[in-house]
Amino acid sequence: METRGSRIKKLRTEMGLSQRVVAELMGYDSKGTVSQWESNLNKPKDMERLANILRTNTVWLETGKGDKDSRNVMVAATGELVLPYHNLVSKKIPVISWVQAGMWSDVGCDDPSINCTTWMETSANVSSHAFALDVRGDSMHNPLDKRSIPDGARVVVDPVFDPSQLNRRIVVAMLEGSNEATIKEFVKDGPNMYLNPLNPKYPTIPINEGCRIIAVALEATIKL
């Protein structure tokens, strides 16, 4: 028999998300929380946020009724009332420097070397460790690529990611010998890995053992 827990597990596995990643996106430290939801031992306290993460709606998660892909309305369990469904969940994240990004760890702003004085709100599905960076330079600017990131854009990034899903993703990386992070496209070609600037004017950077992938980029905004 299908249950709320089995529906959560079904969507999570369809999206290729681990229990740990879902827990992080929900603001929990342990994947055991998600395991309890999927075993129907506990119910998520924030069903709307979980529905956003799983790209569905709370009614389908709770009852299995209606269109599981519909995210724009929420129908009451009685079926007598249709309420607006808020598709976006806002969360505050710090805006830090590229030097600070290179030092970023699980403790984030609790690290005394990280000065979190500027914050922003994002509706992206991010973990509690996410942060933002202001892009400098045009190495990622390419009008022919829809992922183009111009100079001055603000990028939301998340250090919680699946390492097996990095190929062709925009990442924040720390190169050996540098004192600050950089943003590039991660490319894996057989045994070789590279950091690729979207702007063809700049050279591709081979990845060596001293390179550390810090986070993946989720969205970018520009000032007009």
pLDDT of the residue at 138: 95
Grouping H, G, I as helix, E, B as strand and the rest as coil, residue 49 is helix
Amino acid identity of 181?
A
Q: Is 27 left (phi over 0), alpha (psi -120 to 50) or beta?
A: left
Phi, psi of 156 (to 5 degrees): -90, 125
Residue 80, pLDDT score: 35
71 contacts 56 by C-beta, under 8 angstroms = yes
Measured from the Cβ of residue 68, the count of other Cβ atoms closer than 10 Å reads: 18
Mean pLDDT, contiguous 10-residue spans, the chain (224 residues):
92 86 81 92 87 84 81 38 43 92 84 86 86 95 91 94 91 92 95 95 91 93 76
Instruction: Report the predicted TM-score, pTM, of the whole model to 2 decimal places.
Output: 0.62
Cα–Cα dist 95/133, whole Å: 6
What is the predicted pLDDT for the residue at 72?
A: 40
pLDDT at position 70 = 58
Distance (Å) of CA 159 to CA 5, 16, 17, 65, 142 = 27, 17, 15, 35, 25
- What's the CA gap between 48 and 135, in Å, rounded? 32
